[in-house]
Amino acid sequence: MTHTTRRRRLPGQVLVLMAAALVALAGFSALALDVGMLLATKRSLQNAADAAALAGAIDLLKNQSDTIIQGDVTSYAQTNVPSAIRSSLQIPEITVDRTNKQVKVTVTAPPPRFFLGVVYSGPWSATARAAAQLTPITKPYALLALKQNDPQAINLIGNVGIRIVNGSAMSNGGMRCTGNGSL
């Protein structure tokens, strides 16, 4: 005697599982897009913070006032972010340390939201920090040409005048003035 097992068919079962898988796949794709935009914004803000801190350090090296330093830092931060986040860029936090000749900058902006805004309305921002410190390096020379055996290593042509105070000119090759040049 043969015994046959009969499977019960459930029509539409694959369709329901496929729909659930597609919803999950769409959710992960949306999350990847929003997180990718967060990381791209963070990278852009880091570039802006680096440029702003360097601009502030240059101003500090020139002994500019804090007002000028803050203005230049803010300008460089705004100039070096993409236009998509420029309008939402917060005013940078700036710390000027005149003792250590250092400028610290913190830049914050919310990245664009795509699908995240549908399920989350809380804070969503990227922040970047940078510090810059410049120190002038003084050497005992003012003009140096290292190219050996070149009679025109330092070659002044036309109406050129170079005056060196508390230093010297050195060339491994030659120095030449043509025209009204003076060294």
Together in a domain, 66 and 148: no
Residue 104 has pLDDT above 90, yes or no: yes
The verdict on residue 5 lying in a domain is no
- Same-domain pairing of 85 and 147: no
Tell which residue, 107, 105, 124, 128, has the closest CA to residue 116. 124
Shared-domain flag, residues 27 and 72 = yes
Helices 66-79, 13-61: crossing angle, 10 deg rounding: 150
Same domain, 98 and 167: no
DSSP3 helix / strand / coil % (the chain, rounded to 5): 40, 20, 40
Q: Are residues 66 and 125 in the same domain?
A: yes
Domain match, 59 and 116 both: yes
Contact residues for 75 (Cβ-Cβ < 8 A; gap 6+): 55
173 and 124 in a common domain = no
Task: Over range 36-48, report the average pLDDT.
Answer: 90
Instruction: Write the Ramachandran bin of 164: left for phi over 0, alpha for psi from -120 to 50, otherwise beta.
Output: beta
pLDDT confidence band for 121 (50 / 70 / 90): confident
Digit-coded pLDDT (tens) for 1-24? 566 666 666 677 788 888 888 988
Domains contained in the chain, number: 2
Domain hosting 50: range is 14-133
pTM: 0.63
What is the arrangement of strands in the sheet containing 102-109, beginning at the earlier edge strand? 93-97, 102-109, 126-133
User: Would residue 92 count as lying in a domain?
Assistant: yes
